[in-house]
Structure formats: C-alpha cells, structure tokens
Amino acid sequence: MTFTSRQDALDIQNEMPWEAREIPATLYQMLSITTRAFPDRPAISYQLLSGPADKAVTLTWQQFHDQCCQAANLFRSLKIGEGDVVALVLPNCVEMAVAMIGGAIAGIVNPINPLLEPEQISAILRETKARVVVTLKAFPKTDIAQKAAEAVRHAPNVHTVLEIDLNRYLTPPKSWIVPLLRPRNPTGHHADLRDFNKALAAQPRSLTFNDSAGDRVAAYFHTGGTTGMPKVAQHRYSGIVYNGWIGHTLLFTEKDNVMCPLPLFHVFACHVILMACIKSGAHVVFPTPAGYRGDGVFDNFWKLCERWKISFIITVPTAVSALMQRKVDADLSTVKNAFSGSAPMPLELFNRFEAATGMTVIEGYGLTEATCLVSCNPPEGTKKVGSVGVPFPYTDVRIIKETPHGPVDCEVDEVGEICVSNPGVYAGNTYTETDKNAKLYHYGKYLRTGDLGRIDADGYLWITGRAKDLIIRGGHNIDPAEIEEALMTHPDVAMAGAIGQPDAHAGELPCAYVELVAGGTATGEELRDYCKIHVHERAAQPRHVEVLDELPKTAVGKVFKPDLRKRAITRVYNAALEEARLAARVTNVVDDKKRGLVAQVSRKGEVDDEAVGRVLGQFVGSWEWAE
C-alpha cells in the first residue's frame, strides 16, 4: 500500500474498518501464516560477539516456529495458563525471541529490563504475579543471573527458573575458557532451577494445546526508566498484531534484512520490529546481547550491515550520533532506510547521517502504553525533519488542552497534550494497577501520552516536549527542546539534555548537560556563551551548562533526565549549604513513589538542623535526613 501522506492513511482506513480486515486474531496465527508462506527463508539471526566474521546462529521461519511451539508447550507443562505470567530477565539472544513468542502463546509474557536493580525486578515480578522466570546462567562480564536470583528470592509466586547458557554461541578456545571464568551460579531462592534449552528440546514441535479463541492480554511491558517502580502496561493480541500489520503493510517485505541492535525487552524492538518481521517474513538480525551497547558494535556496525546485506536499520538519535563518529568503512549499497524512534532527531544530525550513508531516515513515534506505534514520516512521501510524521491508518491522534470547562481540542499548530486512540490502546486497562488508569484518558478512549505536541496543517505530528519535562521559571513555561536543539548545532556537541534546576526565587532555572563528540574540546562556559546567541528566548538561556563524559541514557538511547535532575539537585542544594557555611551535604537523591525526587542530607559535623531546614526550605523539592 502507498503511504505518502495523512490522506493515504485515511484512505486505507476508510477503505475498510479495522475489524473487517482479514488479519490474524492471535500471535500464533500470525506466526503460522508466515511460516507456511516462507518456511525456508531466514527468520532471525544472532551473534554473541560483534566481529563481522564472528560465529552467528540463524533460524529459518520453520525452525523459529517450531522452537516457539516448544517454548509454549514447556510453559504449559509448568502450569502456565492464559492468565499466568512468564517473566524474561534477559539480554538479546535467540532464546529471548523464542521465549517471548512462546510465553505470549501459552500465557502472558513479561520481559524485564535486566539493567534494573534486583529490588525493581522483584517488584515487577510481584506486581505481575509471575510464576516462571527465564534468565541467564551465570556468565562472565554480566551480573544478570545474580540479579535475577536475588529478585526471585523476594517474589513468592515464582516456582521455576529456566536458565540459558550463552556459551553455546562461542567457538573454541573462548568456549573452553568460559567454564574457568564463570562466576558461581547464584543460589538461595526457593524456585526450581532448570536448563531452558534442555527442557525445550524435550517438547513437541507443534502445539499440544488449543490456541486462544480470540483477543486477550498476552504481554506485560514495564514503562521505561531505571529508577523507581516502573508501571506495567497490558498488551493484547489485537495491539500486537496491529503493530505487526503496520510494519508489513508500510515498511517490510519477506525480502528485507533488518538490523536491530535494540533490546527485545523494549516495545520498539519487540512489537515494532520482531512482530513486523513475523507478519511480513522479513529477516531480523540482533548483534550482541547488549545491542548498540555491546563491545565493538559501533566500531563494526557498517561491516555488520555489509555481512548481513541489511536493507533496513533500526536506530535511535543517540546511536546515530555515535555512528557519525565512525568512518563508513563498508559496502552499504543494500541499505535503503533507517527507521529512527525514541526521540526526534536534530536537523543537523539527520542531514549529516543521510549525506554520509546515502540512506533515507524515517522518523517514527510510539509509546509502551499504546503497544507502541502511533506515527511515522511516510517512507515514500514528504519527510518533515524534526516531526514524527503522520498517524498510521486506524490511529486517531488529537491534541488536547485542559481548561476550567474541561478538555478542549487544540487548533492547528497549537501545542497541547498528544492523545491517542488506536487498536493498541487498551482503554480503561492500560496499566495493571487500576489506580494508575485514573485520569489517563480523554473522552473515555484517548490515551493521554504525557507528551506535548502539535499537528500542522498537513497532518504532521510534532513533539515539543514532555508535559513533566517543561521548565517552569517563575510561572513561565520553557520547552527544553529549544535549548537542546540550539546546543546540537555546536560542532563539538554529540547530544544534549536540558532540565530545570532548583532555584529559590524562580522555582526552576534552565540548565543543560552535554556529551561531546570524539575530540570535542568545548567547555561548559563556552557552550553557555553559545546559548546566549543561539537560544533566542532570553528566559530559556541556561544558567548552567556542564560537560559529561557520557549522558545517562535509557536502554533505547533516550537521554535519561531523572539522573540529570538528581545531579542538578545535588549541585544546587550543596552550593546553598556551603554558602550558608553549614556542615551538611546532599549525599543521595532518591525517587520516591509519592514525593518524586527527594534529596537525602547527611551531617558532616556539628550542624544546626533548623538552619539546614531554612536553607533547603527555600526550594520546592523535598528533602530528608539520611539514615
């Protein structure tokens, strides 16, 4: 189908209601249809190491189908019914994809970011009442097995842990060395411990139970971030299949080879890429357990694309920035498109990437709460750099603002909250915790994303910031994107994150943190002077600019602003305490579920507690004495 404009999307939508389209009702149906069509074509490839000649494992669609069935049968044998949860605490590997699909066929699959702390992982396991956990066997240079074991100790519903040994992806002599370096396998939890691949091999290669009769919740995905207790979103077959249908209809065919160095525990890699490959028959390649974060991935990236004859690259702006610091040293003639998500790409970076690689960049937008996809720049139509394109067919986006008289739709180009309704939005039941769904929808079905944006006269969606990311300086709203975009025009800046730092008078003042390109020499003061010229609104000019070796990022490459806020709180509060000559300092900032970020203050000598209270009481944020 052609998708060159918003009108094309509406034409597709008007041609036939979504419910009337002949689409698979379940994930297993979608997988089975593709397997019958392309049994011998490659489905998924994976290499543990990043070298362009390193060992790789490839499954055909028939092999992938069979292993997914074996996984589903295994989970059913472990008493996983349609309402029971299989949690995956895993990096990328073939088994992760197999367990993902098998878990969603047998019950509800719950992928968990293995970078989270054990207490956060256990909190998710308790929230979802997970009964089976699939994770790694202890392996050098990773503590995932140890984290999972500690988390399971505090998750009473978990009765079985299935372990995956990554050593099978290595060749001698490295595979001989691993047993000598392998950490001691963690013990101490109450669950039965089994080998995933051995248990898988004992199962039949076709389903031993009836597939689901229709739509149901099949996945739990926790929201992004690496602090606090993440919320858990519920995903139904209908939303999962919708994302696969979009990818097949508008992006991939069975002839595409897709490079995806993003984590499968995130909706971008799972629902947008893996499901689109399952629907279309495209071949997806996952390099290293950590994807873009894996050793040597950036350095070998272009040669990996040449090795796998990649036609479609999946990326995020932070990864593009890193790639632009590497010479294009391989034949990229097969690569046509790069699909970028997670955040809008700065104009200069966009132009630099297209010029260096000859690829077409397609920017898209999605979110965990909507089972992911919302919009993208039309692959064959006008691409407005900085926008996230036009809403997909069967996706209705409205820009809504709150007024004393209730919600009101914004005018063309007026900024408000982006609200979404599509087959991926589980209206009324987005989160597992009922109270989290309160006030989450407008008009009963439009998911409030928390993103600020506007829709222009051509129907293109522009994200202008996060509602909670607004810098509010004395009641004046400042969009951090204005500061970030200005800093990104500086030749030394690779990535920037702007936030509001606490201020006793204005509430917040804008400040920024930057990561430099390799060889960059700009200082914070130089960049602050640069902003005085390039940030046109005087109130938005940052009071403080700091250069960091690396900006904190989420698993999919977004700048993680809570960590920047913690840095700013610590710096500002400690400066105030030092100026008042008080022997107390902020030693930690924690994310409290009810109070938000809370500064923890430690005594560094004899100190007047009331005086500390007066100094820190000037700021809006909370603080407490450290224990």
Say if residue 275's pLDDT is above 70: yes
Choice between 364 and 627, residue whose per-residue pLDDT is larger: 364
Most confident of 48-57, 359-368, 553-562: 48-57
Predicted local confidence at residue 229, as pLDDT:
67
Other CB atoms within a 10 A radius of the CB of residue 29 amount to 15
Predicted local confidence at residue 50, as pLDDT:
97
Residue closest to 205 by CA, chosen among 446, 447, 39? 39
- The least confident of 143-157, 253-267, 378-392 is 378-392
Token pair of 253 as six digits: 């065919």
* Angle made by CA atoms 139, 140, 143, in degrees to the nearest 5: 70
| Cα separation, 383 vs 416, whole angstroms | 22
Residue closest to 136 by CA, chosen among 149, 120, 123, 121? 149
Choice between 52 and 555, residue whose per-residue pLDDT is larger: 52
Predicted local confidence at residue 121, as pLDDT:
94
Other CB atoms within a 10 A radius of the CB of residue 428 amount to 11
CA dist 92 → 115, 166, 261, 264 (Å):
12, 10, 9, 6
Choice between 511 and 539, residue whose per-residue pLDDT is larger: 511
Contact 120, 230 (CB under 8 A): yes
Confidence band, pLDDT 50/70/90 cuts, at residue 473: confident
Every domain of the chain and the residues it spans? 6-455, 470-559, 567-625
pLDDT digits (tens, 9 = 90+) for 70-120: 999 999 999 999 999 999 999 999 999 999 999 999 999 999 999 888 998
* Alpha helices by DSSP H, 338-389: 347-357
Other CB atoms within a 10 A radius of the CB of residue 109 amount to 28
| Cα separation, 135 vs 116, whole angstroms | 14
Say if residue 399's pLDDT is above 90: yes
Q: Tokens 């519920």 appear where?
A: 234
Say if residue 235's pLDDT is above 90: yes
Within 13 Å and on the Cβ side, how many CA atoms surround 468? Answer: 8
Give me the percent of the chain exceeding a pLDDT of 90.
75
pTM: 0.83
Say if residue 228's pLDDT is above 70: no
3-state class percentages of the chain: helix first, strand second, coil last, to nearest 5? 35, 25, 40
Predicted local confidence at residue 1, as pLDDT:
67
Confidence band, pLDDT 50/70/90 cuts, at residue 617: confident
Predicted local confidence at residue 224, as pLDDT:
60
Written out in words, the top-level CATH class of the domain with range 6-455 is: alpha beta
CATH H superfamily, domain 470-559? ANL, C-terminal domain (3.30.300.30)
Give me the percent of the chain exceeding a pLDDT of 70.
97
Within 13 Å and on the Cβ side, how many CA atoms surround 560? Answer: 15
Predicted local confidence at residue 443, as pLDDT:
94
Confidence band, pLDDT 50/70/90 cuts, at residue 226: very low
Token pair of 96 as six digits: 């992760």
Confidence band, pLDDT 50/70/90 cuts, at residue 227: very low
Residue closest to 110 by CA, chosen among 80, 133, 81, 87? 87
Average model confidence (pLDDT) for the chain?
92
Predicted local confidence at residue 369, as pLDDT:
95
Predicted local confidence at residue 348, as pLDDT:
72
Choice between 318 and 585, residue whose per-residue pLDDT is larger: 585
Predicted local confidence at residue 594, as pLDDT:
60
Predicted local confidence at residue 345, as pLDDT:
75
Say if residue 475's pLDDT is above 80: no
Say if residue 362's pLDDT is above 70: yes
Confidence band, pLDDT 50/70/90 cuts, at residue 160: very high
pLDDT digits (tens, 9 = 90+) for 31-52: 999 999 999 999 999 999 999 9
CA dist 251 → 18, 201, 265 (Å):
19, 34, 22
